[in-house]
Amino acid sequence: MTAGPYLFEDYPLPDGFKLPASYLELLAKGLPEIDPWWWLAPYKDRANYWAATLRQQFPSRSLVPFAKHGGSDDVACFDGSDMSGDPKVLYIHAFCSPGWELRGDAENFQKWLQNTEIEAAEFQAGDED
């Protein structure tokens, strides 16, 4: 685990891409538990692994991964081609043939987080049965 959140300081992000302010604010406050997802920011090696793996597998896409689903090969990524400062979040399925990787999207990080928190609450409730 790194000392603080890893923001790809030594991994090249797409030119002109900025991490969304809502994501940076959450990092500053502390990341919530989102099981079955887990955050990449606390783990430099894992963050770099997923960034490099997705770049190699899907070179036509510009992806900035930030969370991984624990029960699948799905990775939540910012759309690195979106220079708005509030990029779409893409659900990317790793280790599939190019063209089949996009599993869905969310309008932005805030929307993704809302959906993921609902999923995490349902996941936790299912564990209590």
**Could you tell me the pLDDT band of residue 2, with boundaries at 50, 70 and 90?**
very low
pTM of the predicted structure, to 2 decimals: 0.93
Distance, CA of 48 to CA of 54 (rounded, Å): 10
Which residues, other chains included, contact 121 with Cβ-Cβ below 8 Å and sequence gap of 6+? none
- Token match 């790793």: residue? 94
Q: Note the pLDDT tens digit of each residue in 9-21.
A: 989 999 999 999 9
Adjacent-strand bridge partners of 89? 78, 106
pLDDT, residue 128, reads 63
Distance, CA of 8 to CA of 118 (rounded, Å): 28
Structure token digits, residue 49: 């692994």
pLDDT, residue 91, reads 98
Q: What is the mean pLDDT of residues 50-67?
A: 97
Helix (H/G/I), strand (E/B), else coil: 71: coil
Q: Note the pLDDT tens digit of each residue in 87-124.
A: 999 999 999 999 999 999 999 999 999 999 999 999 98
pLDDT, residue 31, reads 96
